[in-house]
Amino acid sequence: MLSFDNMQERPIRGTQDWTRHEIVLDVPTGATNIAFGILVAGKGTVWIDRGAESVAFDNMQDRALGGTQPWARHSVVLDVPKDATALVYGALLSGRGRVWVDDVRLEVVDRTVPVTDLKAKRLEGPANLDFEL
């Protein structure tokens, strides 16, 4: 497990439509899970991507945090390709507010932990074009 606590003094402050902060992180062998502690005053998310050749992505779009929230651990779980050497992770804030990210951990989880990869949930083509339920 890789763990660090370096963003405590660097909150993201939103004064525009959106603000982000990102860090490139070396991938420990076999790592598949990154977990964040996040405090939000506004609408914020954390995200992770493999970078330029994106093969997995989760920005918590389907579970975004809004309003003032207490500290809580939020996980982003992705299958990391064996040849991946770096991941890009960060925090995104929509509009005004602040986001603090603290106590970041990158850890290996077994295959029974479901991935949160939004790319895996994308449709291959148009769907429900007749708006029928």
Per-residue pLDDT tens listing for the chain (133 residues)? 444 455 454 555 655 565 555 666 666 666 665 555 555 555 665 555 555 555 566 667 667 777 777 777 777 777 777 777 767 777 777 777 777 777 777 777 777 877 776 555 555 666 666 776 5
Parallel, antiparallel or unpaired: strands 86-107 and 18-26: antiparallel
Which pLDDT does position 25 carry in this prediction? 64
Instruction: Tell me the whole-structure pTM to 2 decimals.
Output: 0.55
Distance CA 25, CA 86 (A): 5
Amino acid (1-letter code) at residue 11: P
What domains can be seen in the chain, in order of their start residue? 2-107 (2.60.120.260)
Which pLDDT does position 72 carry in this prediction? 75
Both tokens assigned to 35? 């977990």
Cβ-contact 106, 31 below 8 angstroms = yes
Cβ-contact 88, 25 below 8 angstroms = yes
Within the chain, what is the greatest distance between any pair of CA atoms? 51
Distance CA 63, CA 69 (A): 13
